[in-house]
Homo-oligomer: A and B are copies of this chain.
């Protein structure tokens, strides 16, 4: 238990810029080294809720402005209504979006980013750009792996 994560003289893969690597460690690994309760780890929580496919897609779609339920469904056709409803509830519960009901005769509903939701668009978009840029390489790697192994 004492040598669990203490002195770890493993060979580094490469001499990566120390500052970069250290900053990448810190956020998550402070938790790990200190043995904090994993169930309260923010990283787990956020990646589980906000980082999942549908949730991220919804948030990024809402970045263009408020959208009604069915507009969202049209923008993301491959989500089931069931999942769309549930994801929207989750996002609302977490304070990332607001559900706004217009009291028109046939009441209409729209969803819009709350300030908290707006603040995650940047990080999310950074990942999305990475995805766009590196997707070909991932597909290649996948093809190679499937072919030879």
Contacts and interface: CB of A to CB of B under 8 A. Distances in A.
Interface string A73-97: 0111110000000000000111110
Interface range on chain A: under 10, 10 to 19, 20 to 34, or 35 or more? 35 or more
Count copies of this chain in the complex.
Answer: 2
Contacts of A61: 28-29, 32
> DSSP majority for the A interface?
helix
Nearest to A134: B116
Interface of A: 4-5, 8, 10-14, 16, 20-21, 23-25, 27-29, 32, 38-39, 42-48, 50-53, 56-57, 60-61, 63-67, 71, 74-78, 92-96, 110, 112-113, 115-116, 118-132, 134-135, 137-138, 140-142, 144-146
